[in-house]
Structure 1
Amino acid sequence: MRIRLTLIAVLALSIAPIFPPAALAADRFALVIGNAKYPDADAPLKEPINDSRDIADELKRDGFTVDVGENLTGDGMRKAFERLYGHIKPGSVALIFFSGFGVQSNRQSYMIPVDAQIWTEPDVRRDGFSLEAVLSEINNRGAGVKIALIDASRRNPWERRFRSFSAGLAPVVAPNGTLVMYSAALSSVIPDSGGDRSLFVQELLKEIRVPDLMAEETLNRTRVGVTRASRSEQVPWISSSLAEDFSFIPGARPPGPMATNTQPQIPDIPPPPPPPPLPKAETPILPPPDKPAQNPPSNDGPPTPPPQPQQPSINDDPTIKKLTERLADNPDDAGALYRRGQVYASKGAYSLAIKDFDASIRLNPKDVEAYNNRCWTRTVIGDLQSALRDCNEALRLRPNFVDALDSRGLVNLKSGQAKNAIADFDAALRINPRLTSSLYGRGLAKQRNGAVAEGELDIANAKAMDPNIVKEFAGYGVR
């Protein structure tokens, strides 16, 4: 149910005039690396390849020119960084995503290629790539906004070879205009989840897909999401020196300077409210019968009726207007259709959302995210057979897609297919044991299937993780 979190979050945004033209015009370049097959490791890492592909797909949607590398050797990483450097122009946005093994040495963090020969700590500095050095070179090439997303806080296979070592990654000393996020706290490591995608990337993608969020807010929300989902066992680290606004999905935030904060304190943001019900026409507000009208009759003619409230058109929403203008220039812009569908659904305009998802899927019949989002939207409005077909197609295209399993579980729950719902929620929880919506949904399904005590336990655990989960499901029409 990925759209569920994405859409709910859109509701909390304050949308204002258009995004600064300079930020829209800036060239966006990204280098995405997923390294999984390290000969010194006991087995290939399960998460980096899938995570890097998902991140690359999302960044392409967001207007980035993306270079993707998988299982890169030292020479391959060097060439990839050189290609990135060569693209950068003054004022460009440059982003690095790295998933694999990272090692800190001499108070710097190093991204490790798959063919690194590491026996002593100096070998890290010889074969690894310093994050600080990479960011410095990107800055020297003139990039205005520099972003590094590093999912490398894993226990590495070389630490036992060092006489002394520091686990995890080190704080980065980066040039101004840089935003850095690690998947875990400084000098800490997180265990392999056993799934095919990391919790960090799952939460990051949910927030990147929310239109109009500033990048710092996107990462702050990701940090809160990971912390909450892991019950504080994993707490990502953020460092920012951004001096200008930047949004992954440019929308309708006003320009303005940002305060420099080398390590922002992120508050415990409560989960956003559930999505709205289908919009209803407003009832005109008339004066009470026992009070005189605001405009009393006169000798000049009949009384003037009191003004009636005007219901604003959803198409006046600034984000929707911007996306509609973009589609007027290019009706085949699948990314704009997908985004507008998300915003329509967040506003309760489900039929318009489905039309946009339909068009997006016609342009890209393999868009698993659009299938999942349309599945969720159809589930909310009760078109359960069509929703089931969408979820099945998403899972055919991407087996074990946790969000589609979660969505299909909701379809089955609303359809009265409790056993099928339990099976889907079980499968989702095997991939992500902290997926609160699947835990709560499974609890409801177990109760309906007669396992009342087991269901109550799931529901209690889900409510302990997210006290708003009951209201969230009520918004889907499930109690």
Structure 2
Amino acid sequence: MIIRLALLAILTLAITPLIEAATAAEQTARVALVIGNAKYPDSETPLKQPVNDARELAAELQRAGFEVETGENLSGEAMRRAFDRLSARVTPGAVALVFFSGFGIQSNRQSYLIPVDAQIWTEADVRRDGISLETVLGEIHGRGAAIKVALLDASRRNPFERRFRSFSAGLAPVVAPNGSLVMYSAALGSVVSDNGGEHGLFVAELLKALRAPAPNVEDTLSRTRLAITRASNGEQVPWVSSSLTEEFSLMPGPAATVALNAPPPGIEPAPAAAAPEPASAAGAAASLALAEDPTIKTLSGKLADNPDDANARYRRGQVYASKGAYALAVQDFDATIKLNPRDVEAFNNRCWVRSVIGELQAALKDCNEALRLRPNFADALDSRGLVNLKNGQVKNAIADFDAALKIDPRLTSSLYGRGLAKQRNGAVAEGALDISNAKAMDPNIVQEFAGYGVR
């Protein structure tokens, strides 16, 4: 199921205000960069909470005496320039804070902040287009910042996640320089769902804690973590890492705010829901939306120049599949395999798409071919497990999911699928445990499988 691009839940990375000099007389510089990225072309819909969270947090930081620079929906180049400006504002002994809300990905046990224009298809693309959190903290430290604060709210499922084999859910532990404090909105390697409100749970509880001053930063974070854990019934437990050697607490003070590309302050009201369109009009609108999708337009342009570009053909098939345009996805995978009959990824993806739309015999044939080309291919085992589950072959499904999990124990879809298969095979308690563990790793997994026609 390599194309499961459910919004992961959005990975959001956030680095925030919990700091200040012990007395105003110290005149310690406090600088912050606050970024909310919401409009990712690869997502089905823009995220709502990152921009709202960034605006509210920027205002709170300003009240706490930080000189704040804000940015919304920043490209890779714009993000790099913003981080360069932050480093330039750091003076020896300063407090430096970064907040990023949007998608984050871990690669090689590092966490990367993802710009809105990132083109991520392989793990190498993460390192090329993403911004390494460890690099950001290292550069700020090199400029002489005494305190570095990173509050990371980037543990969302993201649309890039299953495009490359070595993906790991959630964020990785950060190797930060001395004098750093990092807080993740969720446990390492886990993802969370948006709560549907104007603000994410992490920032909402953090703001409450910041507005009730505590003796030091650790107390503020402890209160925040406890409130989030209780509000989520234990499903979201923030992770904190600190190498601070001094005590700090927030101290109100005037500060300037510099906007990068943000609209005027205030949260824009959500547009009123439109009346349902007739089926034919809805279909035409969907076709137009696909044609105007920026990623699809780019790939279609490449194929217009070179119809034999197998890489562009395969990538467009992935995008079509992620948006539910399964017939178009199959066409692109067909063409990819015709160009390269040994393209194991294309066979696996076509297997997954065919399993979703109920072409189970053809799907099984594709998965078997993928595994012939690449034995012990976890994604193909995962996909074949779905085929067998939908086909009522629960023992075969359990065997496939077991094999996939031996290769990748954090393959949530295999864990959840195995749970369903075990329950259908009579092992109700064992299945319930798998399902519970899968839901803890990915709260969207039930909805995802429902989209495959499996409940």
- The normalised TM-score by structure 2 is 0.51
- Give SS of 1:68's match: strand
- Give SS of 1:152's match: strand
| More contact order relative to length (CA 8 Å, sep ≥ 6) | 2
State whether structure 2 residue 236 is matched by structure 1 residue 224: no
Question: Which segments of 5 or more consecutive residues in structure 1 lack a partner in the other structure?
Answer: 1-18, 251-325, 327-332, 336-365, 369-396, 401-479
Task: Tell whether the 8 Å contact from 2:55 to 2:265 is kept in structure 1 after alignment.
Answer: no
In the other structure, the counterpart of 1:153 is: 155
The 1:103–1:23 alpha-carbon spacing in structure 2 relative to 1, beyond 3 Å, is: farther
> Residue type of the partner of 1:248?
L
Following superposition, the deviation at residue 35 of structure 1 comes to 0.1
Task: Tell whether the 8 Å contact from 2:149 to 2:181 is kept in structure 1 after alignment.
Answer: yes
State whether structure 2 residue 125 is matched by structure 1 residue 123: yes
The 1:132–1:367 alpha-carbon spacing in structure 2 relative to 1, beyond 3 Å, is: closer
Task: Tell whether the 8 Å contact from 1:99 to 1:151 is kept in structure 2 after alignment.
Answer: yes
- Which of 185, 192, 200 does residue 202 from structure 2 map onto? 200
- Please give the alpha-carbon distance, in whole angstroms, between the structure 2 residues aligned to 1:71 and 1:49: 8
> Residue type of the partner of 1:167?
A
In the other structure, the counterpart of 1:405 is: none
In the other structure, the counterpart of 1:466 is: none
Task: Tell whether the 8 Å contact from 1:30 to 1:64 is kept in structure 2 after alignment.
Answer: yes
In the other structure, the counterpart of 2:108 is: 106
- Please give the alpha-carbon distance, in whole angstroms, between the structure 2 residues aligned to 1:229 and 1:170: 24
The 1:216–1:398 alpha-carbon spacing in structure 2 relative to 1, beyond 3 Å, is: farther
Could you list the structure 1 runs, at least 4 aligned residues long, displaced by more than 4 angstroms after superposition: 397-400
> Residue type of the partner of 2:88?
G
Structure 1 residues 355-394: Cα deviation after superposition (integer angstroms, max 9, x where no partner): xxxxxxxxxxx999xxxxxxxxxxxxxxxxxxxxxxxxxx
Matches within 5 A, 1:355-374: none
- Please give the alpha-carbon distance, in whole angstroms, between the structure 1 residues aligned to 2:108 and 2:265: 44
State whether structure 2 residue 146 is matched by structure 1 residue 136: no
- Please give the alpha-carbon distance, in whole angstroms, between the structure 1 residues aligned to 2:198 and 2:165: 33
Structure 1 residues 183-202: Cα deviation after superposition (integer angstroms, max 9, x where no partner): 11100000122222101000
In the other structure, the counterpart of 1:57 is: 59
> Residue type of the partner of 2:36?
G
> Residue type of the partner of 2:212?
V
- The normalised TM-score by structure 1 is 0.48
Following superposition, the deviation at residue 399 of structure 1 comes to 6.8
In the other structure, the counterpart of 1:67 is: 69
Following superposition, the deviation at residue 210 of structure 1 comes to 1.6
Following superposition, the deviation at residue 124 of structure 1 comes to 0.3
In the other structure, the counterpart of 1:380 is: none
Structure 1 residues 429-473: Cα deviation after superposition (integer angstroms, max 9, x where no partner): xxxxxxxxxxxxxxxxxxxxxxxxxxxxxxxxxxxxxxxxxxxxx
Coordinate RMSD, CA, aligned: 2.5
Task: Tell whether the 8 Å contact from 2:62 to 2:255 is kept in structure 1 after alignment.
Answer: no
Following superposition, the deviation at residue 116 of structure 1 comes to 0.3
- Please give the alpha-carbon distance, in whole angstroms, between the structure 2 residues aligned to 1:233 and 1:109: 22
Following superposition, the deviation at residue 164 of structure 1 comes to 2.7
State whether structure 2 residue 31 is matched by structure 1 residue 29: yes
Structure 1 residues 116-175: Cα deviation after superposition (integer angstroms, max 9, x where no partner): 000001100110000001000000000001000111100011112112310000000000
Following superposition, the deviation at residue 22 of structure 1 comes to 7.5
- Give SS of 1:95's match: strand
Following superposition, the deviation at residue 33 of structure 1 comes to 0.3
> Residue type of the partner of 2:244?
L
The 1:76–1:398 alpha-carbon spacing in structure 2 relative to 1, beyond 3 Å, is: closer
- Please give the alpha-carbon distance, in whole angstroms, between the structure 2 residues aligned to 1:85 and 1:178: 15
The 1:23–1:34 alpha-carbon spacing in structure 2 relative to 1, beyond 3 Å, is: farther
In the other structure, the counterpart of 2:177 is: 175
The 1:210–1:249 alpha-carbon spacing in structure 2 relative to 1, beyond 3 Å, is: farther
- Which of 162, 165, 176 does residue 163 from structure 1 map onto? 165
Following superposition, the deviation at residue 211 of structure 1 comes to 2.4
Task: Tell whether the 8 Å contact from 1:23 to 1:246 is kept in structure 2 after alignment.
Answer: no
Task: Tell whether the 8 Å contact from 1:155 to 1:167 is kept in structure 2 after alignment.
Answer: yes
- Give SS of 2:54's match: helix
In the other structure, the counterpart of 2:430 is: none
Task: Tell whether the 8 Å contact from 1:112 to 1:128 is kept in structure 2 after alignment.
Answer: yes
Following superposition, the deviation at residue 212 of structure 1 comes to 4.2
In the other structure, the counterpart of 2:321 is: none
The 1:202–1:23 alpha-carbon spacing in structure 2 relative to 1, beyond 3 Å, is: farther
- Give SS of 2:151's match: strand
In the other structure, the counterpart of 1:85 is: 87
Structure 1 residues 249-292: Cα deviation after superposition (integer angstroms, max 9, x where no partner): 37xxxxxxxxxxxxxxxxxxxxxxxxxxxxxxxxxxxxxxxxxx
The 1:367–1:158 alpha-carbon spacing in structure 2 relative to 1, beyond 3 Å, is: closer
Question: Which segments of 5 or more consecutive residues in structure 2 lack a partner in the other structure?
Answer: 1-20, 257-263, 271-455
> Residue type of the partner of 1:122?
A
- Give SS of 1:173's match: coil
- Please give the alpha-carbon distance, in whole angstroms, between the structure 2 residues aligned to 1:170 and 1:198: 21
The 1:153–1:334 alpha-carbon spacing in structure 2 relative to 1, beyond 3 Å, is: closer
- Please give the alpha-carbon distance, in whole angstroms, between the structure 1 residues aligned to 2:244 and 2:142: 16
The 1:155–1:137 alpha-carbon spacing in structure 2 relative to 1, beyond 3 Å, is: same
Following superposition, the deviation at residue 20 of structure 1 comes to 3.7
In the other structure, the counterpart of 1:94 is: 96
The 1:367–1:159 alpha-carbon spacing in structure 2 relative to 1, beyond 3 Å, is: closer
Structure 1 residues 401-425: Cα deviation after superposition (integer angstroms, max 9, x where no partner): xxxxxxxxxxxxxxxxxxxxxxxxx
Mean alpha-carbon deviation: is it higher for 80-89 or for 157-166?
157-166
Structure 1 or 2, whichever has the larger Rg, is 1
- Give SS of 2:183's match: strand
In the other structure, the counterpart of 1:247 is: 249
Matches within 5 A, 1:233-272: 233-249=235-251
Identity percentage of aligned residues: 65
